Chain A
Amino acid sequence: MILSLIISLLGIYSIVSFYWKLKNGKINRQYFTWWLFFWLVVIILFWWPNISSGVANYLGIGRGADFVLYISVLLLFYSQFKLYLQLNKLMNNQAVIVQQLAINQAKDHEKSISNHR
């Protein structure tokens, strides 16, 4: 009961804070919807844990807690992979900028030398 209350407060705080970020244009609607969905599922499962057991039985997993654990691990893997891709994209963009800067700088240098001749 106490844990459910704490999780609910945490969830509500997160949803409100994401809502304000959405309002201020710091995140997009898709991102907000995903976190809203996530926290609503977490809150519901903490207040009515039998739901997860029902889904677990339906999928043949056994215990509801196991079902939640499997899903969490899968989500963590997925988010880790997404982060990895984003980091890779950022590094590639950084490389393009650094490389072009180096080339431009050298070309400017060559130009200034030939102007002095």
Chain B
Amino acid sequence: MAISPAKIFIVIPAYNEQDNISIVIQSLLKYEYQVIVVNDGSTDQTSWQVQQFPPVILLEHLVNLGMGAALATGTKYALSQGAQIIVHFDADRQMRVADIAQMILPIVQQEVDVTIGNRLANSQIPVLKKYFIFPIARILNNLMTGLYLVDVHNGFRALNAKAAQKINIEQQGMAHATEIVQKIKKFNLKYREVPVTIDYHVFGQGIGGGLKILHDLFLKKIV
């Protein structure tokens, strides 16, 4: 199946990313993808930076809602514009634009509905994460979602339109990553993990972030 790059939308949630967002956009605009930045209530110059690139679609959250909500907004807008593939991409320069081609390939070839990045093969991962946080997260993810993923909380993912329509992201915060996996299982979507490289500039989510995710998932169960 041939998919025009104009139907491939890259959704980037951004919160106070004035130092990174221009670099990310510049590297994305070398390709012909449609780029959507969701400015999630940033208090810095993120919005102004994005406006310097007219081809980029800017969606503005008036207040900070969280990464999951920003991805939901961007995904919904992309679908309304006829997106056939939607890629979730970070604004902090940790993901490599060159990996997008590998991420969308199994979808273009109609082998799967969703691809999820797997950073364990190629990336220099902080030791605490690799040997302590990830193994625990893997077990918890397996218990909560019923799917076994090597890299359970990778924000680099690509979805075809069918999957994006079915997976309505309700978790506003970081728990969206687990919610998406839960819904891949729920809707019986075909998925594959694709090796990607993550360049760590900061540590990212630690144990506290993991506990917050568990709390959000538990709350969703009882509300």
Contacts and interface: CB of A to CB of B under 8 A. Distances in A.
- Do A and B assemble together? yes
Interface of A: 85, 88-89, 91-92, 94-95, 98-99, 101-103, 105-107, 110
A99 B61 contact: yes
A110 to B, nearest CB: 7
Chain B: interface size category: 10 to 19
Given A103-B77, A103-B80, A106-B77, A98 B63 contact: yes
Contacts of B80: 103, 107
Nearest to A85: B223
B62 A91 contact: no
Given A88-B223, A106-B77, A98 B57 contact: no
Contacts of B223: 85, 88-89
Interface stretch (B65-73, B96-104, B105-113): B65-73
B28 interface: no
A100 B206 CA distance: 32
Interface string B44-78: 00000000000001111111010001001100110
Contacts of B69: 95, 98-99
The 7 closest A-B pairs by CB, nearest first: A102-B59, A99-B73, A106-B59, A103-B77, A95-B65, A95-B69, A98-B61
Given A89-B223, A106-B59, 9 more contacts: A85-B223, A88-B219, A92-B172, A98-B63, A98-B65, A99-B69, A102-B38, A102-B60, A102-B73
Interface of B: 38, 57-63, 65, 69, 72-73, 76-77, 80, 172, 219, 223
A65 B4 CA distance: 74
A51 B219 CA distance: 39
A99 B63 contact: no
Contacts of A92: 172
B88 to A, nearest CB: 16
